[in-house]
Homo-oligomer: A and B are copies of this chain.
Amino acid sequence: MKERTLGRGVAVVGAGMSRFGAFAGKTTRDLLAEAYRDMIASVDRGFDPDEIDGVYIGNFSSELFEGQGHTAPIMADWLGLGHRPATRVENACASGGTALRDAVLGIASGIYDVVLVGGIEKMSDLAIERVTDALATAGDELFEIPSGFTFPAFYATMATAYFARYGTGPDALRAVAVKNHDNGALNPKAHFGMRICDVMESKKAAALKKGKPVPQWAGVDDFLNDERANPMIAWPLRLFDCSPVSDGAACVLLVREDLARAYTDTPIHIIGTGQASDGPLHGRADITTVTSARLAARDAFALAKVTPGDISLAEVHDCFTIAEIIATEDIGFFEPGKGCTAALEGVTALHGAKPVNTSGGLKSKGHPVGASGVAQAVEIWKQLRGEAGTRSVGPNARLGLTHNVGGTGQTSVVHIFERR
Q: Write the residues of chain A forming the contact surface with B, with a CB cutoff of 8 angstroms.
A: 2, 4-8, 27, 29, 53, 55, 60-61, 63-64, 66-74, 76-77, 81-92, 98, 102, 104-106, 108-111, 113, 134, 137-142, 145, 273, 275-280, 283, 291-292, 295-296, 406-407, 410-411
Contact = CB atoms under 8 A, between A and B. Distances in A.
Nearest to A106: B105
A82 B279 CA distance: 6
A121 to B, nearest CB: 12
Contacts of A276: 83-85
B280 A77 contact: yes
Given A102-B87, A276-B84, A295-B83, A74 B108 contact: no
Contact of A72 (B68, B69, B83, B91): B91
A70 B410 contact: yes
B2 A138 contact: no
B69 A90 contact: yes
B137 A63 contact: yes
Contacts of A139: 70
7 contacts: A29-B142, A67-B141, A72-B277, A73-B91, A77-B280, A83-B277, A88-B90
A406 B63 CA distance: 15
A6 to B, nearest CB: 5
Contact of A111 (B29, B66, B108, B110): B108
Contact of A273 (B29, B76, B83, B111): B111
Contacts of A411: 70, 72-73, 86
Contacts of A291: 83
A91 B102 contact: no
A347 to B, nearest CB: 29
A141 B67 CA distance: 7
A133 to B, nearest CB: 8
Contacts of A84: 276-277
Contacts of A55: 277
A6 B277 contact: no
A11 to B, nearest CB: 15
Contact of A410 (B66, B73, B283): B73
Nearest to A292: B83
Nearest to A84: B277
Given A2-B113, A7-B109, A273-B111, A87 B89 contact: yes
Nearest to A10: B109
Contacts of A406: 70, 73
A63 B67 CA distance: 11
Contacts of A106: 102, 105, 109
Most chain B C-beta atoms within 10 Å of own C-beta, residue among A4, A63, A280, A407: A63
Given A66-B141, A90-B88, A138-B69, A82 B407 contact: no
A358 to B, nearest CB: 27
Nearest to A88: B90
A77 B295 CA distance: 15
Given A2-B113, A106-B105, A89 B88 contact: yes
A142 B30 CA distance: 12
B141 A108 contact: no
A85 B277 contact: yes
